[in-house]
Amino acid sequence: MSRVQSHPIIIVGGGPAGLATALHLARRAPALAQNLLLLEAQTYPRPKLCGGGITVHGEEQLARLGIRAAVPSFSVNRLVFRLGRREFAVTHPAAMRVIQRSEFDAALARAVIARGLAVHTGERLLDAIATPTGIELHTSHGQYHARVVIAADGANSVVRRKLRFTSEDGVARLLRVLSPVNPQQEPIWQTRTAVFDFSCIEQGIQGYAWDFPCYVDGEPCMNRGIFDSRIAARAPLPHGTLKHTFGDWLAERDIDLAQAQLEGHPVRWFQREAEIARPHVLLAGDAAGVDALFAEGISYAMEYGEVIAESVCAAFTRQDFSFTDYRPRLLRHRLGRLLLRRAALARALYRHRYPPLWGLFWRLAHYSPRPVQRAIGAWLAVLPGTRPGTDGQSPAAVPGESWT
């Protein structure tokens, strides 16, 4: 049997949550970070099913890490929110940028490795067992013991499953199709628009369908998908069939679902009461729960890294690894406030109990003056705030650095 290696901190999963946690620890506690280990099952660049939309909230997280995203992207200047025949548009320069996750995550991983931190790629976690002094991890390559394990291994988290964390509900379903596009013939490409179409709520889907222009390996494409949060257990409409609704929506865009390459993956959304920590274990990103309103997860996963770094530093200072402070710390942090705010809005909207009210809201949003639209956008961290420190604010004070 191979020797058991000991590390103070092991991060399982090298997506935005795991990589941002490593980077925050490197900034906050460089000595501690030098001995951490990050385990990633795949090798970079690795595929990750996603819409690839990075909002201003995501840019803010990158700035906090002192990182500039020099990866190919499509910059969106106009966000359209549709409900049936009603829609309202919000324009803002670089309101969102659409990236390829394989490139984005690989660039984040390069930044982690450039700081001298240990990353084992191609090493999959197979089992996790709690011991009185920490967690024993069994991987495809060997055995480890860690004082602290950070589970950043996504919506289907193995750490979560093996340690039998509770609250298995709160899982959304998403489907996606990529298709090549002729930019000259696609108006939303020409106008640099991203569409969020909530019309599927009327078919019993508790989410929206998206239309994002993007580049895939340099070729113009459309990234289209549908998100069903399943947040409202007792909604007045019977639950719709996701694939069927998506197929109809794609047909309106001249895409035959039977001919398209359909892919699906879950996203876990955050619930106030969900179990997110145990002695010696913290959950992050999709393993803990992200945004229930838009299934936005990249920025939230990265922000988890900041809260986790605070909790881990406090634990090593006090030599108390119970992590009973993690939930209150998260709920006090802007991350927790935003997650709860978006979940409350998702519950209200996707329950679809008062359809005329939402029609009225869409009309009001359409006719609202720009400062009002901006204030609501900033409150939801979809647009930058107007004052430093407000939600959605990009802290320009943090210097960026190139990844490539």
Contacts to ligand FAD by CB under 6 A? 12-18, 39-42, 48-53, 124-125, 152-154, 158, 174, 176, 225, 265, 267, 285-286, 290, 295-299, 301
Write down the least CB distance from residue 224 to ligand FAD, Å: 10
Closer to ligand FAD by CB, 301 or 378: give it.
301
Closer to ligand FAD by CB, 295 or 378: give it.
295
H/E element, 130: strand 125-131
Locate 139 and state its tokens.
């991987």
Write down the least CB distance from residue 141 to ligand FAD, Å: 11
Using DSSP's 3-state secondary structure scheme, residue 273 falls into coil
User: Do 120 and 37 touch, CB atoms closer than 8 A?
Assistant: yes
Write down the least CB distance from residue 105 to ligand FAD, Å: 7
Name the nearest CA neighbour of 85 among 189, 1, 198, 223: 198
User: Do 93 and 76 touch, CB atoms closer than 8 A?
Assistant: no
Closer to ligand FAD by CB, 13 or 392: give it.
13
User: Do 57 and 73 touch, CB atoms closer than 8 A?
Assistant: no
211 phi/psi in degrees, rounded to 5: -130, 100
Write down the least CB distance from residue 382 to ligand FAD, Å: 11
Write down the least CB distance from residue 277 to ligand FAD, Å: 16
Closer to ligand FAD by CB, 225 or 385: give it.
225
Cα gap 360→169, rounded to integer Å: 32
Residue whose token pair is 């359209």: 80
43 phi/psi in degrees, rounded to 5: -115, 145
Continuous H helices in 34-128: 56-64, 101-114
Cα gap 234→252, rounded to integer Å: 30
User: Do 142 and 2 touch, CB atoms closer than 8 A?
Assistant: yes
Closer to ligand FAD by CB, 48 or 333: give it.
48
Write down the least CB distance from residue 89 to ligand FAD, Å: 19
Write down the least CB distance from residue 9 to ligand FAD, Å: 15
Closer to ligand FAD by CB, 299 or 393: give it.
299
Exposure of 225 in the CB half-sphere (CA atoms within 13 A): 24
Write down the least CB distance from residue 160 to ligand FAD, Å: 10
Closer to ligand FAD by CB, 172 or 315: give it.
172
Write down the least CB distance from residue 99 to ligand FAD, Å: 9
Closer to ligand FAD by CB, 86 or 192: give it.
192
Closer to ligand FAD by CB, 59 or 296: give it.
296
Write down the least CB distance from residue 268 to ligand FAD, Å: 8
Closest residue to ligand FAD, Cβ-based?
A: 297
User: Do 230 and 58 touch, CB atoms closer than 8 A?
Assistant: no
Backbone CA torsion sign across 265, 270, 275, 276? positive
Q: Omega before 16 cis (within 30°)?
A: no
Closer to ligand FAD by CB, 86 or 115: give it.
115
Cα gap 246→81, rounded to integer Å: 17
- DSSP string covering 308-348: HHHHHHHHHHHT----TTHHHHHHHSHHHHHHHHHHHHHHH
